[in-house]
Structure 1
Amino acid sequence: MQQLVRILSPVSISQNRTPPNPDTNFLLPTCSHACELTCRSSSSSSTTGSTFQKLQLDTLAPNRNLVGKTFCSAGAWVHPLSSTESHSHVEEEKVGVLLLNLGGPETLHDVQPFLYNLFADPDIIRLPRLFRFLQRPLAQLISTLRAPKSKEGYASIGGGSPLRKITDEQADALRLALEAKKVAANVYVAMRYWHPFTEEAVQQMKRDKIQKLVVLPLYPQYSISTTGSSIRVLQDLFREDKILSGLPVAIIQSWYQRGGYVKSMADLIEKELQSFGSPEEVMIFFSAHGVPVTYVRDAGDPYKDQMEDCIYLIMQELKARGINNDHKLAYQSRVGPVQWLKPYTDEVLVDLGKQGVKSLLAVPVSFVSEHIETLEEIDMEYKELALESGIENWGRVPALGCTSTFITDLADAVIEALPSAAAMTTSTTVGESNSSNQDPVGYAIKMLLGSFLAFIILLAFPALKNQSI
């Protein structure tokens, strides 16, 4: 979550973006239903839904009773068949691929508005329905108070996030990989909390008259707070547009289990191990981005199960190559007073030092691009903590970036998803997002009251102010 908090860029009053309707849950998995996925949109007045068909891309590791019960192998989900018929030949259509990512402030001036956008997202700070009017006032206060500390972090890595540049490079590489496989496609980048926003990418797709779309989140594992949030925004935009509502779309929900990804990660780990004097003695330390426990326990977020399965698959690949090093999974970037997934990266590093571990290779397993959480949090903060705790030899696996095997596998995933694209639902949901238009006086009163209550909350929980993001 620290990534989520680190990456947010504050928005000035003119830049502040109204968060999507918090009552709309798009593609939120329900863990109690085996092999069935349901898309639900609900509000206080209406509930609409449609069951998604599953496009199987790969099979999960054997004897692992994890994500399969929810995702049937966590591949791509696509909308059910509609009156919109797909063309029989991909080559005859204008194909688009939409890469979803978090986004990040490109300059220090962007940090506060970026943070505002992050905290204004109801999938990041999940308030009870009764208190949802506090969302934006609370986001404004938290982003304002956190901005100075966050700016220090971005200043230490060059004054801004490299995420957009890297994602643009990945988009170009993916386009070329698709061309090499005889699929001509326009590849677009949609950031959740900073430019280019999802809305910008969608408008460009309309101008280009895209006829079929594959949505590809650049998050290997699914979480409500990352892939789920980005797709919810996309669904809202498609609902409100007559042209887009009929566009055939396939959505790849998660792809951590794909052979290309697993092998690419194993390749990077194997290479970095050789930089140590005694590679066989190195602890492989997977550090994943954390999420609040309530997401998993109460909202059915499959992230924890998918992450554990991801580590299993990578280690199985390494063992097949004769690499039998010990490994450990921990979660980084926790924020605020609530409980996050454990064990925490910082606490585990201290414990490993006490246990006598001398060589450690950090693996940022949930990130495919370098950004604040790899360049500053892992490379600086965690490295310093590890050395202080008694670990003598430190290494870090780079993010996948534009690694050829990784990009080629993403191209294969896109091609596999294309035949199953179908139109999104066009049903609309009335929620809180338009409350200001319906009752401007009541909305203003809520904002004033919300600002006051948000200030009281911050006084009660000073950790929200002081924690680095």
Structure 2
Amino acid sequence: MDAMARPGVSSHMRLSGPRLRSLNHKSSMSCPQTSSFTSARCQLSEGLQDIDKSSLVVSSDPTNTRTSNLGGSYIHGPIHNRNPVGQTFCSVGVCVHDGSVIESHSHAKEERVGVLLLNLGGPETLHDVQPFLFNLFADPDIIRLPRPFQFLQRPLAQLISVLRAPKSKEGYAAIGGGSPLRKITDEQAHALKMALEAKKMAANVYVGMRYWYPFTEEAVQQIKKDRITRLVVLPLYPQFSISTTGSSIRVLQSIFREDSYLSRLPVSIIESWYQREGYVKSMADLIEKELQSFSKPEEVMVFFSAHGVPVSYVEDAGDPYRDQMEECICLIMEELKARGIDNDHTLAYQSRVGPVKWLQPYTDEVLVELGQKGVKSLLAVPVSFVSEHIETLEEIDMEYKHLALESGIENWGRVPALGCTSSFITDLADAVIESLPLAAAMSTPRKTSEEVDPDPVSYAIKMFFGSMLAFVLLFSPKMILAFRNHLF
């Protein structure tokens, strides 16, 4: 993605426990004492309490369930595979399966179950790049403006999208002229449907993208049209961030609030699943396999590269992303150690944009440092991505690989994204089945004082000065040049 940023997160999202400050050594690290999967211990040097696999919800919350301001149940936990039954088709850009609900699960009897997969989306052609970027930067969860200046969101998004489009087009051109994210997500939706049917659970699986087609709004309309009676929302982001899962949930909140049918629909939201046994073992499988491609696997540095977020989102807005990412790395390395793989490893953050401070250490800087320290073999692991897209295919495979080799690293490898890996999809299906009984109708909260119609005078003043500022921005020499290059 070309940029990231995250909204405020409610206090129940805050995670406690020590953070990993350094992952550049073998067996001395300790992990945040949050959730884990069955029999996994989150510390390499001291064990953590085992977590019962039978628990439907894995969470630091003692009640194991959460109620969001959206009204549905939030689940920390679950994810599975496929079974060849039925036929998948696309209606208004949304993947839907034409199949009848079967009656093997008591909680699903006489019901039409839906699963909504949420993802970022990506431009499918070079022509789509600039409008995609506009949608991205117009999201207040990506660029967080102070309240008095929020009316400048769209003019600023237009400015940034036009300025960034040329460079972004180069990146997408390098990977074939567009993002493969929609195709891969559709394949994952089909695989998940087949996995659910293999477990005797019939369900329609929908795909909703945040910034490009098929938009979340389209998926929700299809869910309503299909008269779904129980819905599981599954964001395809292993770790929760207020800029990814949080942003998508905010959209759902807005849609459900305005619709009487949707507001009564029982919904479960699986807000993160990085601690799922299936996910952790699937990641360990891929890492173990790729290590064998090196002549001396035991000497390879395992380099986890995660998408970054601005530090202010974590420290000021309470985003749990960093804590969850560090725990995720701990769980994967613990699984590898159980298999006799005890390689050095580290975690860094990629894809920072703009002048603000992002989570550190930065991927590009760490690659240079590792080369200077004499690391010769490195295996890159895109830990926050479950689908190949521009961050893996262009940023890691091209930019970072070139930088690593230029810095003295001689042997480079990269773990592929999970995609439709059988064990991964199978665990996703388990997550859906486990969370389904916890579905609860969403509430329709009244408008808050922040959402009521503004005072007409103050609104007019803000619009006047905002328009003047937007005029200056849009007609600055740099912007005019950018538009000229864009149009001609």
What TM bracket, shorter-length normalisation?
0.7 to 0.9
**Cα distance, 1:25 vs. partner?**
5.9
Question: 1:133 deviation in Å?
Answer: 1.6
Q: For residues 18-37 of structure 1, what are the structure 2 equivalents within 5 Å?
A: 29-31=12-14
1:145 matched to 2:163? The reply is yes
Q: Does 1:399 align with 2:388?
A: no
Q: Does 1:413 align with 2:431?
A: yes
Q: 5 Å matches for 1:161-172?
A: 161-172=179-190
For the pair 1:224 / 2:242, whether they are aligned, the reply is: yes
Change (3 A) 1:282 1:307: same
Equivalence for 1:449: 468
Alignment of 1:377 with 2:360, yes or no, is no
Q: Deviations over 1:63-118 (max 9, x none)?
A: 599xx9984399874569999xxx95313210000001000000111101110111
Q: Is the alpha carbon distance of 1:453 and 1:126 closer, same or farther for their aligned partners in structure 2, counting shifts above 3 Å?
A: farther
Q: After superposing the two structures, state which structure 1 stretch, 430-439 or 202-211, moved more.
A: 430-439
What is the correspondence of 1:9-408 to structure 2 with a 5 Å cutoff?
29-31=12-14, 58=37, 61-62=41-42, 71-72=60-61, 77=66, 89-408=107-426
| Paired AA for residue 418 in structure 2 | L
SS at match of 1:214: strand
Residues 219 and 100 (structure 1), Cα distance of their counterparts in 2 relative to 1, 3 Å cut = same
Gaps of 5+ in 2: 18-34, 49-56, 73-104, 480-488
- By how many angstroms is 1:386 displaced? 0.3
Partner Cα separation in structure 1 for residue 247 and residue 63 of structure 2: 17
- After TM superposition, the score normalised by the length of structure 1 is 0.82
> For each residue in 1:359-394, what CA deviation from the matched residue of structure 2 results, as whole angstroms up to 9, or x when unmatched?
000000000000000000000000000000000000
| Alignment match, 1:45 | none
Q: Percent identity?
A: 71
**CA–CA distance in structure 2, aligned partners of residues 431 and 167 of structure 1:** 38
| CA contact 1:264–1:405 (8 Å) conserved in 2 | yes
In 2, Cα distance between equivalents of 1:74 and 1:335: 38
Task: Give, in angstroms, the shift of residue 427 of structure 1.
Answer: 1.6
Contact 1:29–1:302, Cα closer than 8 Å, also in 2: no
Counterparts of 1:357 and 1:73, CA distance in 2: 43
Contact 1:104 1:164 in 2 (8 A): yes
Contact 2:9 2:317 in 1 (8 A): no
C-alpha displacement of 1:32: 7.2
Report the CA distance shift for 1:32/1:253 in structure 2 as closer, same or farther (over 3 A).
Answer: closer
> How much does 1:4 deviate?
4.1
One-letter code aligned to 1:121? D
Deviation at 1:161, TM superposition (A): 0.2
Larger relative helix fraction: 1
Distance across 2 between alignment mates of 1:317 and 1:131: 47
Change (3 A) 1:381 1:361: same
Q: 1:379–1:92: structure 2 CA closer, same or farther, 3 Å change rule? A: same
* Paired amino acid for 1:402: C
* 1:202 Cα deviation after fit: 0.3
TM (norm. structure 2) is 0.79
CA distance 1:457–1:426, change in 2 (3 Å): farther
* Whole-angstrom CA distance in 1 between matches of 2:128 and 2:393: 18
1:445 CA displacement: 3.2
Q: Aligned partners of 1:73 and 1:310: how far apart in 2?
A: 20
Q: Which residue of 2 aligns with 1:44?
A: none
Q: CA deviation at 1:134?
A: 1.6
Question: Over residues 274-308 of structure 1, what are the superposed CA-to-partner deviations in whole Å (9 max), with x where a residue is unaligned?
Answer: 10011011000000000000000000000000000
Aligned pair count?
418
Gaps of 5+ in 1: 6-21, 35-55, 461-469
Counterpart of 1:212 in structure 2: which amino acid?
R
Using a 3 Å threshold, how does the CA distance of structure 1 residues 33 and 109 change in structure 2: closer, same or farther?
Answer: same
Offset, 1:129: 1.1
